[in-house]
Structure 1
């Protein structure tokens, strides 16, 4: 509500009414008293229609898409329901936005017709919003400034509560891992290599009492002249691991406060989800973990596009955490284990860190190290131990850095 409820026109009417009243007594002009009373009564009636007559407003918002990514346009639709026995004149509206939201969230609020009794009338408002920061951001509340039909009085009301918009990190399209065929590659590669061998991957074996008759392999039985049954070939799903180092020591203080505050950490988050999305498309079952081995999201099966969407949504809230940056737990996790691609994304990285991770490349079919802020010769030392390295500072071309690291000559990237 405004401290002064009158518009410029209403203020002028009050001033003119008072002036007419004074002049009527000064010059004994009775007609001016009528003018004065008329103006002041009109202004008072205008205030009554806005502030005394009961009126309620509610707002519901919807977003398309429901979950946005940074830099992606979002269509915001607000439905305002007005319950009032009197018409509502044209006014103005404005939706409150969090920092980092780019939108023209304001406009003219249309007039609504009068109704008999208290009737409900709806007003639809729409605008485009471009979120610039990852996180869970409030949109609203809606502020409506309305005037009476004469334009003498105004009333500013806050309508409804803010609606929360989830802004996920943007996943950059990364190049394929074409150099990893067969067992070293994902299931997408394996499927291609198995063409002509049958889709069911079945191996016949000798019949054992108790086997179901439905499992009898009649062709093999006829060929060997004894009962054979189908036995499913045991296959292992190729796996990949993506590590996002959330240790506060790797980032600035802003990275712990809220998503979107530290440009370096945002570059790392984008690299992490982009790498995970690429590996899922390659057919790997992808696990995303922190440096201490704790899972940052549910594992995603190969080819599961919906799983990638869930990963992006869950990463809307990820921030740096205050804990040790010692990679020893990660090294222990892979001791005696062989895995597919291993992607480590970290921030500040020096020679000591390179030495601490030296044992990991030998446990991975494709060890990738993506560093936001490398120090001195840290990437060269890491590359010497088997890592394929790339520097990915904020604003860099992530796709090009990824391609250079994946390439067999990628160890020289960013060194």
Structure 2
């Protein structure tokens, strides 16, 4: 038998077993039954010599030789098995299932024996799947599948696949491991937010102005180099003659709306842990808002209390235009993968986020959406100062329980279902509202979509 499957096979997630293991490793693969037969056989041989019983000697020799023969046969068996794993999908929301498909191919000229497969799976995804495969003919293949599910977001390795080969009598069992593994990304669950117009949203054209000569005159034209596909009617001949290369007039540059989503990750700001904790609610809310704004054409920047911007290049926002793609699927995937692994920080304050905002990345025309944990008086003042760096600011404070949603200043908005708002959040809500924020209490059990709609209504947003 081959020992440890090693070199990757053809295709993603594939590996083949081709190298022969040592005889000592094969002897170590004796099962409890094999060891019992060997011990019983040796004991019978010793007793046969002591008692002079030839019949007992024959029985003892048979019991002792049988497991050794099985070990030798398995050790000498040359097999080449390729294994492939496919995840569907490779990125799945928390509390949703993903299917893992395994394909085993016998690429040798000899049939295999009884094969047992076991895929290594983290305990949070469920028990380790085990499969029993009967004889696989030369060139044959078998396919099996199993499901995994996690209540907690994160990135989880699947594999490597372990292959066990046994003899028909169950005397010996040899285990080999493939070298490849795959990664399942469990992203935070998201909600579809209402399509109502957000306050502070521009029409998309901003204050851009046409630079055509008919409006500004030839002296005000700022040309650029010709690019493949440009309309030849936009060629600016005076600049072409001046620079010695083909130049075209710039078109009106639309001003893309910007948004900064701030996620408070301080460990001291969130009580409890687990999938139903306030922190997980805040992460899921931030993911929902990011996806919603990306679909509406915003340039989205994700900040945490550490000041780290993700994912965008050079700390900038991320949008379909920046990514250079026709839709926002890949951009949304990058944001979700970033939020899938975000963890608590040990910082005591929000100074890192304030430094990023004060640096000028978020202008007055931008939208600031913050998902915050518990705030003391000092941190409340720090968040209130952030309002100066945005044209509109919306804050959602995660409470330990399912509070009844409230409007700015802690007044009831009628969005919750049972339970009262956290009394400790009334002070920060009132202070943020006085500073110009649209502040609403949230938490586990509260719909982010309902809070978003309420934020647009209380912020004076019109409906589209």
Aligned residue in 2 for 1:185: 201
Cα 1:17–1:83 shift into 2, 3 Å = farther
CA shift, 1:36, in A, is: 4.2
Aligned residue in 1 for 2:228: none
**CA deviation string 1:358-407 (max 9, x = no partner):** 24446544421122247342223222322222333345433333333333
Pick the aligned partner of 1:238 from 257, 261, 266. 257
For the aligned residues, what is the CA RMSD? 4.2
Contact map agreement 1:372 1:393 (CA 8 A) in 2: yes
Cα 1:284–1:263 shift into 2, 3 Å = same
Cα 1:230–1:92 shift into 2, 3 Å = closer
CA shift, 1:208, in A, is: 3.2
Aligned residue in 2 for 1:223: none
Alpha-carbon distance in 1 for matches of 2:458, 2:268: 31
Alpha-carbon distance in 2 for matches of 1:203, 1:345: 47
**Is 1:407 aligned to residue 407 of structure 2?**
no
1:364-375 to 2 correspondences below 5 Å: 364-373=390-399, 375=424
Alpha-carbon distance in 2 for matches of 1:135, 1:146: 34
Alpha-carbon distance in 1 for matches of 2:172, 2:249: 85
1:121-132 to 2 correspondences below 5 Å: 122-132=141-151
Aligned residue in 2 for 1:40: 64
Aligned residue in 2 for 1:358: 384
Alpha-carbon distance in 2 for matches of 1:265, 1:3: 49
**Is 1:93 aligned to residue 103 of structure 2?**
no
Contact map agreement 1:300 1:308 (CA 8 A) in 2: no
**Is 1:346 aligned to residue 346 of structure 2?**
no
Alpha-carbon distance in 1 for matches of 2:180, 2:271: 33
CA shift, 1:242, in A, is: 0.9
Alignment gaps of 5+ in structure 1: 194-199, 217-228, 255-259, 411-415
**Is 1:208 aligned to residue 218 of structure 2?**
yes
Contact map agreement 1:287 1:295 (CA 8 A) in 2: yes
Cα 1:28–1:230 shift into 2, 3 Å = closer
**Is 1:380 aligned to residue 449 of structure 2?**
no
Alpha-carbon distance in 1 for matches of 2:111, 2:172: 14
Aligned residue in 2 for 1:61: 85
CA shift, 1:305, in A, is: 3.4
**SS across alignment from 1:214:** helix
Aligned residue in 1 for 2:94: 70
Alpha-carbon distance in 2 for matches of 1:206, 1:317: 51
CA shift, 1:78, in A, is: 3.0
Pick the aligned partner of 2:303 from 289, 297, 311. 289
Cα 1:111–1:208 shift into 2, 3 Å = same
Pick the aligned partner of 2:319 from 301, 310, 314. 301
Alpha-carbon distance in 2 for matches of 1:103, 1:177: 44
Alpha-carbon distance in 2 for matches of 1:151, 1:292: 57
Cα 1:51–1:281 shift into 2, 3 Å = same
Stretch of structure 1 that moved more, 78-87 or 147-156: 78-87
Alignment gaps of 5+ in structure 2: 1-24, 224-231, 236-247, 321-326, 400-421
**Is 1:5 aligned to residue 30 of structure 2?**
yes
Alpha-carbon distance in 2 for matches of 1:59, 1:334: 53
Cα 1:342–1:244 shift into 2, 3 Å = same
Alpha-carbon distance in 2 for matches of 1:56, 1:400: 57
CA shift, 1:344, in A, is: 0.9
Alpha-carbon distance in 1 for matches of 2:181, 2:249: 60
Contact map agreement 1:246 1:291 (CA 8 A) in 2: yes
Alpha-carbon distance in 2 for matches of 1:335, 1:13: 75
Aligned residue in 2 for 1:166: 185
TM-score normalised per structure 2: 0.66
Cα 1:53–1:104 shift into 2, 3 Å = closer
Alpha-carbon distance in 2 for matches of 1:85, 1:23: 45
Stretch of structure 1 that moved more, 282-291 or 202-211: 202-211
Alpha-carbon distance in 2 for matches of 1:56, 1:330: 56
**SS across alignment from 1:349:** coil
Aligned residue in 2 for 1:276: 290
Aligned residue in 2 for 1:314: 338
CA shift, 1:338, in A, is: 1.0
Stretch of structure 1 that moved more, 344-353 or 154-163: 154-163
Contact map agreement 1:371 1:393 (CA 8 A) in 2: yes
Count of aligned pairs between the two proteins: 376
**CA deviation string 1:75-105 (max 9, x = no partner):** 2233445677764332432212123213662
